[in-house]
Amino acid sequence: MSGPAVEIASGVVVGKVVDGLCAWRGIPYAATPIGDLRFRGPQPVKAWDGPLDAKEFGPKAPQVGVADSSEDCLTINVLAPQATSDQPRPVLVFIHGGAYVTGSSAEPLYRGDNLVRTGGIVYVSFNYRLGALGYLDFTEYSTAERTFETNVGLRDQVAALEWIQRNIAAFGGDPDNVTVWGQSSGANAVTTLMCTPAARGLFARAIAASSPVASAYGKDRARGWAAQFVSSIAPDGDAVRALTTASPMELANATQTLTQRLADEEPGTRITAPVVDGDYLPQYPIDAFADGNAAPIPLLIGSTSHEGRFFPLFLNIIPSSHKRIEKMFDETDPAVKARALASYPGYPRRRAAADLGGDIVFWEPSILCAQGHTKYARTYCYRYDFAPRLLHAIGLSATHGTDLFATFGALGDGLGRHTTLLGGRSAMRAVSDTMTAHWLSFVRHGSPQSSWPTYSLDRRETMIFDEVSQVRDDPLGERRRAWIGYHHKR
């Protein structure tokens, strides 16, 4: 079991050297959440005897279509430069996206190699519980013998951050200089963690890429979704038996079925999302940012220019069709609806509808978050506009997730290479270099490079990442104002 060995609180972990970097993978950060621990907050991991082989990623959280997933998924990964440093290194923690139902830290795109090499940082990623196992609220079914807790996936994320505070110094990282970065639901995790009392002090700054900030729901709505879920897996009405004995795949499949149905019946909501339970998550994050109750730390937040065009093709869960959008506006002031629709030329045609849906899920809540947070802490806004010729040709443009190729520097292999088959690789490299420099400056110092000013309510300065990146004041300001008065479902 030769390889770089590190002693942490639970024992010795032995990793491996990968292309000149030291990697430790699949380290348990909490006890396996099975049996009585299913639907409970994470519990401390027991110390192990002898060295732990930490050369491979741990199992993915249970999800549809992934055969090697497992409830034994609460593992964390660390990537660091092989060379030692006299000073502790900044730490960048990435939380993967996937609508809280798919994904894992083992995705090739999320390896973090380029950021570690370029920035000399320590990079951390981890898995957390997804779907019903992590994001449905079954507390109404608790009994004296069996407790169900809220926000289990969110609690996992807090446990991972606590693990980092206890152990990252052993890997050369600085526990006082931790940045948490997430994309999509991972970005929702970031903005939610900023509003979670248990996470206060566990990280020093935050990056939220395409965060559906408003996707958090109250106990009443969550209770209704849980009841529908339970009725689908427990026709005999024995909720406790069904929830505790159903296989992970049965739970994942039932989550997918209910998600697809409610995408039509309650468009603009997500059944797998944090629950504002008044305790672990005491306030809707969008309100917490407005009221100054979020962690007063530097925040870098933004979205892509055409977020919604991804979803009808790959994950059809947002209000990106005429039928869903009309239903989404059911409880909206007709004047607000008219203003919003008028700001999307071509609506209800397909691309305009997708742009509207993506904006109301990702862009508009991120703007609300930024305009609230900038009153209390440094805030930096961006929009990612770059798209190589192929993405323009197929009508996606700069859509949801395409910014990750640039920020991770994943340009030469996999999807990153395929997106530039019709050209644009040198331009994409330039965009990637620019974004990486800003990201790493933020990770090190709490601010991007000096060309990117803080967001203010007077000017709404926004960095536009494109072939030529530049700061613009209040881009799409008329569209932003058109959404004033719209209220997200809770």
Q: Which residue has the tokens 């019903």?
A: 132
- Map residue 487 onto helix, strand or coil: coil
Direct distance between the N- and C-terminal alpha carbons of the chain, in angstroms, rounded to an integer: 51
**pLDDT for res 352:** 97
Query: Is there a catalytic annotation at residue 145?
Result: no
Query: Is there a catalytic annotation at residue 184?
Result: yes
| pTM of the full structure | 0.96
As a whole number of angstroms, the distance between CA 339 and CA 360 comes to: 13
As a whole number of angstroms, the distance between CA 296 and CA 289 comes to: 9
Set out the domains of the chain in order of their start, with CATH numbers: 5-482 (3.40.50.1820)
pLDDT by 10s per residue, the chain, length 490:
568 999 999 999 999 999 999 999 999 999 999 999 999 999 999 999 999 999 999 999 999 999 889 999 999 999 999 999 999 999 999 999 999 999 999 999 999 999 999 999 999 999 999 999 999 999 999 999 999 999 999 999 999 999 999 999 999 999 999 999 999 999 999 999 999 999 999 999 999 999 999 999 999 999 999 999 999 999 998 999 999 999 999 999 999 999 999 999 999 999 999 999 999 999 999 999 999 999 999 999 999 999 999 999 999 999 999 999 999 999 899 999 999 999 999 999 999 999 999 999 999 999 999 999 999 999 999 999 999 888 888 889 999 999 999 999 987 666 666 676 555 678 889 999 999 999 999 999 999 999 999 999 999 999 999 999 999 999 999 999 999 999 999 9
Query: Is there a catalytic annotation at residue 162?
Result: no
**pLDDT for res 436:** 97
Q: Catalytic pick from 266, 307, 364, 461?
A: 307
As a whole number of angstroms, the distance between CA 250 and CA 245 comes to: 10
Q: Catalytic pick from 96, 373, 400, 488?
A: 400
In sequence order, what E strands does 271-418 have? 275-276, 299-304, 379-384
